[in-house]
Amino acid sequence: MTTMSSTAIRTRTLRVRRPRRRWIGWAFFAPFLLAFVFVTVAPLAYTLYLSLFQERMLGGTAFVGLGNYIEQLTNPVFWDALGRVSIYLVIFVPVMLLLSLAAALAIDSARLHFPRLFRLAIFLPYAVPGVVAALLWGYMYGTQFGLVGNIGDLLGVTLPDPLSSNLVLLSIGNIMVWLTMGYTMLVFYSALRVVPAELYEAAELDGAGAFRVIRAIKLPAIRPALAVTLVFSVIGAFQLFNEPNILRTLAPNVITSHFTPNMYAYNLSFAGQQYNASAAVAIAMGVITMVVAYVIQRVASRKA
């Protein structure tokens, strides 16, 4: 039936450039979708299912409805972890975005010596795996042969330990800024590259200064890229895992097993075998992340 009708359309509207409605498209899309269902939809559905049950000492597995959620959302440990990533997010996401923005504007300004060198060098940390970055900075922070101690010795003072409980969040934030700044810069930079030259010419005719051009032309050009990077940075912050988990080796007493929500979910399933609780934490975090990302996205687009 479909074949017939599409053949009919084919003979009639050869010149129309719209793609025709045919099943053949599925042959291209199906392999991806199959894999997608298997590694994204199915795990989420299974986790949702798990989160509604509890293993009982007696009587095996029991349906508890939202019981696991209530238990986790009233657990101070969960809020402790969530609060920590929120502080982290509020401090480091803006710092990272501002540094990237400044770098992108500077490289785009044509008022810089060796712009290509800067672009390449600042981008370079993006290539470094998060694990290697955490090990690298962890050793540099460390007291045994760390750079911080070295510099303290050189200056004849004792510098504060970056892995102490006061500073550890700052130290992790620094690693994240270091890792992601270059990539974000490149996103902003390519948004700036496509600003039509006429806009700059018009601004020049109007006698606009450099800062006026930034405010009236360059920042609006970056806005969509900024909104996207902001949302992804927030999502990334809520999912923080690699860096604190690796630094934990160096500062086991400072970084707890529930330092971030993701570490909490991980340790619930791997150290505690509490798969149902872990599933509830994973789903709850997913929902919280979605809501926050949605709100940010709404606010960002309203201003536009």
Partner 1 sequence: MATATTEKTTSARAVAMKKQDAASAPLPKSSRRRNPMERRPSRLLTAGMVLLLLYSVLPLFWLVVNSTKTQGALFSSFGLWFSGPFALFDNIQQVFTYGDGVFARWLANTFLYVVVGAGGATFLATLAGYGLAKFDFPGKKGAFAVVIAAIAVPGSALAVPTFLLFSQLGLTNTPWSVMIPSLVTPFGLFLMWSYARESIPDELVEAARMDGAGEFRTFFTISLRLLAPGIVSVLLLEIVGTWNNYFLPLIMLSDPQWYPLTVGLNQWSEQANTAGGEAVFNLVITGSLITIVPIIVAFLFLQRFWQSGLAAGSVKQ
Residue 10 carries which side chain, given as an amino acid letter?
R
Question: Is position 89 an interface residue for partner 1 (rule: CB under 8 A)?
Answer: no
Ordered DSSP codes for 25-57:
HHHHHHHHHHHHIIIIIHHHHHHHHHTTEEE-S
Question: Is position 79 an interface residue for partner 1 (rule: CB under 8 A)?
Answer: no
Applying CB under 8 A, among 90, 160, 165, 294 the residue interacting with partner 1 is 294
Part in contact with partner 1 (CB under 8 A); list of ranges 53-61, 62-70, 160-168, 176-184:
176-184
Question: Is position 293 an interface residue for partner 1 (rule: CB under 8 A)?
Answer: yes
Beta bridge partners of 54: 62
* Closest CB to partner 1 among residues 215, 294: 294
Window 99 to 138, contacts with partner 1 (CB under 8 A): 99, 102-103, 106-107, 109-114, 117-133, 135-138
Q: Quote the tokens at residue 32.
A: 């991806």
286 HSE (CA, 13 A, CB side): 13
Window 273 to 292, contacts with partner 1 (CB under 8 A): 275, 278-279, 282, 285-286, 289-290
Q: What is the DSSP letter of 127?
A: G
Applying CB under 8 A, the site for partner 1 has a residue count of 120
Backbone angles phi, psi at 17, to 5 degrees: -90, 0
Q: What is the DSSP letter of 125?
A: G
Question: What does the buried/exposed string (b/e) look like for 220-248 if buried means 16 or more CB atoms within 10 Å of the residue's CB?
Answer: ebbeebbbebbbebbeebbebebbbbbbb
- Contact assessment for residue 199 and residue 218, using Cβ atoms and an 8 Å cutoff: no
- Residue 150 burial (CB count, 10 A): 12
* Closest CB to partner 1 among residues 146, 162: 146
Q: Is 63 helix (H, G, I), strand (E, B) or coil?
A: strand
Window 1 to 60, contacts with partner 1 (CB under 8 A): 14, 17-29, 31-33, 35-36, 38-44, 46-47, 50
Question: Looking up tokens 């400072």, which residue turns up?
Answer: 254
* Closest CB to partner 1 among residues 89, 103: 103
Applying CB under 8 A, among 101, 246, 255, 280 the residue interacting with partner 1 is 246
Minimum CB separation from partner 1 for residue 232, in Å? 5
Applying CB under 8 A, among 239, 256, 257, 292 the residue interacting with partner 1 is 239
Distance of CA 129 to the CA centre of its chain: 15
Q: Which residues contact 177 (CB under 8 A, 6 or more apart)?
A: 92, 95, 96, 99
Minimum CB separation from partner 1 for residue 117, in Å? 8
* Closest CB to partner 1 among residues 33, 90: 33
Minimum CB separation from partner 1 for residue 250, in Å? 8
Question: Is position 241 an interface residue for partner 1 (rule: CB under 8 A)?
Answer: yes
Residue 53 carries which side chain, given as an amino acid letter?
F
Question: Is position 68 an interface residue for partner 1 (rule: CB under 8 A)?
Answer: no
Q: Quote the tokens at residue 266.
A: 């991980």
* Closest CB to partner 1 among residues 70, 139: 139
